[in-house]
Structure 1
Amino acid sequence: MTDHTAHVRRLNLYRQYFELVAAGAKTSEVWVKYPHLADLAADDTIRFRTKNTDETCDVKVLRVTEYPDFEALLDGEGPSSVKPTATRDQQLANIRTIYGPEKKALGALAIKIPGANRAH
């Protein structure tokens, strides 16, 4: 077991994803494995902010799972946990729009967050 001091991270989301997180409908957040997220762990808090606004939503990280790519992430987490209103193929197309090939090469992170029963 390793010691981990919980941190508060600040991450921006597009409105469509922010609304799903704030409503508790999205239980897996998808990111590339940026260096600044390498030590993200369970019990950290993420303060999501809608891009270009001051609107925020705090969530506790339940777990972080690394995947080699977004396809494996969607297969492992299930598309409905990432964006319940879109099919797997639609989600892959959206993810590829957000993250280009150079970022995809960093690997993928699934950040498990609480669903609809959480307080926010």
Structure 2
Amino acid sequence: MRVMVLVKSTEDSEKGFVRTSETMAMMAAMGRFNDELRDAGILVMADGLTESAQGKRVAFDGADRTVIDGPFAHPRELVAGFWLWDVKDMDEAVAWVKRCPNPMPGPSEIEIRPLHQLADMP
């Protein structure tokens, strides 16, 4: 089962990455966690995203397209980074996320979403 594991943005992450002793320690801890995922054969892909101020959205309305420049409101609804994992089931994904170092200073949230399996689609 493939899942996308989404690290949600925070007000701090939307300010952009700042190199401090705390953030560098967090990055090192995350690197060790990624090594564990890789060694377990679970990690397919992982990366962090820049703050939404560097992004754009394209809104669709019929044939019309409107480009919206970032930053975007509601940081906790945005994604700061992601993993793509290949796990046996959702319980295994949850167990791995529970072992994850806190990805952000202060409170943060990680969301796990299964990818559609073509065999399961009508």
> Shared fold by TM > 0.5?
no
Pick the structure with greater CA Rg.
2
Structure with more strand by fraction: 2
TM-score, normalised with respect to structure 1: 0.27
